[in-house]
Structure 1
Amino acid sequence: MSGERPAPTPPTVGRLPRGDLVRARVATDFETPLAAALDDELTGYLRVEPGETLLGGDDAEAVITLADGVPVLAYDGGDDADGPAALAALAGTAPVRVESYRLPADALATLHDPATDATAPFRVAPAGPARDLADADALVERTRAVAPDDRREAAGDHDALAAFLADEDRVEAVRADARAEAEARAAEWGLTDQLGE
């Protein structure tokens, strides 16, 4: 159809310049890597492997791009979700492996340009990850304080986690998947009896 636009291209790791690895760690929560990126004024991206990937599940990964430590775009490859929906998909997936990469600002200039329509669906509010993933009020305030004036009330500045939790079917599906994964791991490790207790 002539009026249709092509689907936007997600900012996946494979499409981003490699950058310089700053740190890589398994974190029990999202607050630590987000706070470190803010402290470092990191321009680049965080590559996130959710908990199920660490336990030998699929090879899903998510990306959060940053400008001076402030989140700009988010994409979750496991759920093929973008923007606030990507944050909702990542919520509750800790522990996570997070790799932090530094890039020159011009390497992300086109992606981060608010006039770039193709990346608009991936935009998140500056404090969105601190709120929706880390649930860290102090980090939310710190992030908002250093965010550019024109991004303080960016598109997508709504509570993605609340929207996720309000979807009872999706929450129950996540719980069922977690139970099934736990039972499979318990059986694999010979701990079925202990799990039953």
Structure 2
Amino acid sequence: MTPEGTLVASRVVESLATPLETCFADRLTGYLRVEPGMPVADADPVLVTLDDGVPTAAVVREGDLTGADAVAALPDTGPFRVERTRTSVEALAALHDRPACHVDPGALAERADAPALAARLRERAPDDSEADSVAAFLDDSDQIAALKAEARAEATAQADEWGLSDQLDSG
């Protein structure tokens, strides 16, 4: 599940704010592989994808934990072993296309006690208002039912016009 890419850096840090700030400044498209340090060294690494330096998705162990749950799996304090890897948006598509993997762009920075960075990350994040409005529409069962009824009425009218009424399935 880890996308192919080019390792940019591998460091041990006390705070995740440092690599997040670097990724933001470099506008990194790729991912961070974050491994908790001692005393919980046996914990699974968290993979956090970045688009233009902004965290977009997170996953632990091939998808056992995703999104906010994956971020929550990290301890509150370091040290952390962090690998920064550069890759393409296409290589990250498998995670970005799964809504369960999505994370709040500033959540990791807030956990690192870097509220100013969290605000800058959210500001740079793409506007999801179009995706939000589509999701809201799809969640509105009354609106979907009305749309289906309208389409059915139009199909019936057109079938009548073409003399195909007896061909329609009434179910």
Query: Taking structure 1 as the reference length, what is the TM-score of the superposition?
Result: 0.60
Task: Write the deviation string for residues 86-113 of structure 1: whole angstroms up to 9, x where unpaired.
Answer: 212214141100000000222223432x
State the Cα distance separating 1:81 from its structure 2 match: 2.3
Unaligned runs of 5+ in 1: 1-14, 155-197
State the Cα distance separating 1:128 from its structure 2 match: 1.5
Distance 1:56 1:144 in 2: 30
Query: Taking structure 2 as the reference length, what is the TM-score of the superposition?
Result: 0.68
Change in 2 beyond 3 A, CA 1:138/1:110: same
Q: CA RMSD in A?
A: 2.5
Identity of aligned residues (%): 45
Does the CA-based 8 Å contact 2:59-2:101 persist in structure 1?
yes
Does structure 1 residue 69 correspond to structure 2 residue 48?
no
Change in 2 beyond 3 A, CA 1:57/1:148: closer
Distance 2:41 2:108 in 1: 24
Does the CA-based 8 Å contact 2:57-2:67 persist in structure 1?
yes
Does the CA-based 8 Å contact 2:49-2:57 persist in structure 1?
yes
Q: Which amino acid aligns with 2:119?
A: E
Moved over 3 A (4+): none
Change in 2 beyond 3 A, CA 1:17/1:35: same
Aligned length: 131
One of 138, 142, 145 as aligned partner of 2:120? 142
Distance 2:107 2:40 in 1: 28
Structure number with bigger Rg:
2
